[in-house]
Homo-oligomer: A and B are copies of this chain.
């Protein structure tokens, strides 16, 4: 069996490609740089993935599959809204610290080619608002949270959690803080963001 070897190379390519594509984007990425990072000949990229476009798509799907479960935690979990907001906020900020380029990569590439996400919408595990919508409507009706549509609440939760990482250079410049202070701000947000959201929607 030499399969160990192939799978290893294929995996090394994907890892290197994830690295380069996430930091440089599709247009800025260079096949040669990916090959160098993987420590193999450039022809191997085409041997295993045919073209830059297909390699990119493999990377995108792989990266996206990391994000989807995070979002499903808020959409398809069984806990209360309040619990979900607390858990999601806490976990997401930890998660993103391990994948700092992920949100920007996904957002950038989807804006470059918005049709691309349509191919993924069918795959199982793709985040979907249906269940969350029912829950929000029910809690609004019960009176435990103020009137808000599930869509707007979902947008707000994502915005407050994701945006600070996407806009890091901008925020750092405006607020005149260095990397260290910025990191502390993000650490504080693990609990502050949840409080901010809950304060806003909770009925007294």
Contact = CB atoms under 8 A, between A and B. Distances in A.
Given A111-B104, A152-B185, A163-B162, A176 B128 contact: yes
B175 A151 contact: yes
A47 interface: no
B151 A177 contact: yes
Contacts of A152: 185, 188-189, 192, 196
Given A104-B111, A160-B156, A176 B129 contact: yes
A53 interface: no
A114 B158 contact: no
Contacts of A176: 128-129
Contact of A196 (B75, B156, B189): B156
Interface in A109-167: 110-112, 114, 117-118, 120-121, 126-129, 146, 148, 151-152, 154-156, 158-160, 162-164, 166-167
Interface stretch (A23-31, A81-89, A90-98): A23-31
Contacts of A26: 28
Contacts of A120: 173
B173 A117 contact: yes
Contact of A104 (B108, B159, B177): B108
13 contacts: A25-B25, A25-B27, A28-B112, A75-B174, A104-B107, A107-B166, A108-B108, A154-B175, A156-B160, A159-B162, A163-B166, A199-B201, A204-B204
